[in-house]
Amino acid sequence: MFSHLPLPPHRALSSVVALGANIICNKIPGLAPRQRTLCQSRPDAIIVIGEGAQLGINECQYQFRYGRWNCSALGERTVFGQELRVGSREAAFTYAITAAGVAHSVTTACSQGNLSQCGCDWEKQGYQDQEEGWKWGGCSANIKYGVEFSIRFVDAREIKKNARRLMNLHNNEAGRKYVQPRQPRTYTSSFFTCGII
């Protein structure tokens, strides 16, 4: 989504802050009102969200690279743009992979210290494995924060109260569950079953 930005993330972030959150957030087409509000309150996150959406598109194109439908039309149809008009298996996968991409990207940015208001997951800090003889001392990925942020931002697009909204929310959740550890990875086609045609 923001692949046209020539600046590295830390320089782009300072540019975002310098231009002002309102100006930047009002220029992004397709944001729902709650997304725009979140953008204005967290301008540092909007670039990371764009990277996550692009990550989802790239993964979608990779997964379907040999198929008749290969996600090539998704350039502007992500969390920032129009929804896919037809409730199909492809739309289900697109929503899931985009929500997962945003959760992953936010999680990574937190762990690297590139976002304010989040950081490492300290639950594992000091963990010791007596059998193996090692002690955890690194920065664990704060997946919980990334998933919660994805819920707040990606799901904010779903404002209509209808069956399509429920389907999109279900598919978003399926994608986020796949990112989380300790979850059975049996989502090979479970979110494809929820489609409205």
Ranking 33-42, 99-108, 124-133, 176-185 by mean pLDDT, the lowest is 124-133
Across the range 3-30, mean pLDDT stands at 60
Q: What's at 141, amino acid-wise? A: A
Q: Residue 196 has what pLDDT?
A: 42
Q: What sections of 74-134 are H helices per DSSP? A: 89-111
**Stronger pLDDT, 119 or 53, i.e. the higher one:** 53
Task: Return the exposure string of 50-70: e unless at least 16 CB atoms fall within 10 Å of the residue's CB, then b.
Answer: bbbbbbbbebbeeeeeeeeee
Q: Are 136 and 149 a contacting pair, CB within 8 Å?
A: no
Q: What is the DSSP pairing of strand 128-129 with strand 134-135?
A: antiparallel
Q: Residue 112 has what pLDDT?
A: 86
Among left, alpha and beta (phi > 0; psi -120 to 50; other), residue 111 is alpha
Which pTM does this prediction carry? 0.73
Q: What pLDDT, in 10s, does the model give residues 158-186? A: 888 888 889 999 999 999 998 887 645 45
> Which residue is associated with the tokens 């959406």?
53
Q: What pLDDT, in 10s, does the model give residues 25-72? A: 888 888 899 999 998 888 888 889 989 988 998 888 898 889 888 776
